[in-house]
Amino acid sequence: MDTEALHTERDRSSAPETDGSGTGERSRSVRVPRRMSWRRAGVLGGVCAVFLLLLSQFVMQPFQIPSTSMQPALEVGDRVLVNKLAYRFGSEPRRGDVVVFDGTGSFVPEDVVENPVSAAAREGLAALGLAEPSDTDFVKRVVGVGGDRVVCCDKRGRLQVNGVPVDESYLYAGDAPSHVPFDIVVPQGTLWVMGDHRSKSRDSRDHLGEPGGGTVPLDRVIGRADWIGWPLDRWSTLPATGAFDRVTAPDGAHG
């Protein structure tokens, strides 16, 4: 018997079948790195998501504009970047700042309850700027701070703060400072806020007869809207206004 021929046949049968080009070996070697690359991508995506959530929680949060109340400065669908560090180290909101705040207890009743599962999902998406904010979150302009007397309107139809008329050039074209007359002293530790599109804004004026008188507690302020980040053709900083530069505090100091 030709044992050499038998060994040869056995060796052939135990070897992997290929087309002679080595594609069998290559396909296995390609599949392993591909699985590893997907795993790496998943880990990297998870790390990025955690980083963005932490950034949103403590430093800067995207906020999607849901209404026309802050036109022309902010349009529906704009994503503003809210600076959460602006008031963290002793600073407080100033007149003219555009702020995002939680209106629970001032603009929205305390007893409004949202489904906890849907609330958690929405908050996660909103924190990344991928969903509209909570129904309790609002964006408005600070018009009065604690101790200010805010009056509307004087004989020429202008808003006054501590007796000084304010030239509100940021208002929506054609809007009056207010169609609702009011005269209020802002309690300490709170803010009087209004939208720039006064005829389309539900703001402090709409809650005058409610507990708190329409003012927003400082500890409900989430941060200051400093930039428009999206859409790209509207990318810009929100310019500071000089409308309140001549206004003095009740004690005579500027601020």
What separation in angstroms does the CA of 120 have from each of 161, 199, 233?
40, 33, 31
Domain segments of the chain as ranges: 3-54, 62-237
Q: Is 253 helix (H, G, I), strand (E, B) or coil?
A: coil
Query: Does residue 224 contact residue 142 with C-beta atoms inside 8 Å?
Result: no
Give the span between the Cα atoms of 106 and 108, in whole angstroms. Answer: 6
Total H helices, total E strands in the chain: 3, 12
Query: Does residue 229 contact residue 217 with C-beta atoms inside 8 Å?
Result: no
* 144 pLDDT more than 80: yes
Catalytic residue IDs: 69, 140
Superfamily of domain 62-237: Umud Fragment, subunit A (2.10.109.10)
Mean pLDDT computed over 108-119: 67
pLDDT score for 56: 59
Give the span between the Cα atoms of 195 and 227, in whole angstroms. Answer: 17
Mean pLDDT computed over 176-181: 95
Query: Does residue 226 contact residue 81 with C-beta atoms inside 8 Å?
Result: yes
C-alpha torsion 145→249→247→172, nearest 10:
10
Looking at every residue in the chain, the average pLDDT score rounds to 82
Residues above pLDDT 70, as percent of the chain: 70
Give the torsion sign (CA, 104, 132, 139, 72).
Answer: negative
What are 95-108's pLDDT values in tens digits?
A: 999 999 999 999 99
pTM of the entire structure?
A: 0.74
pLDDT score for 120: 56
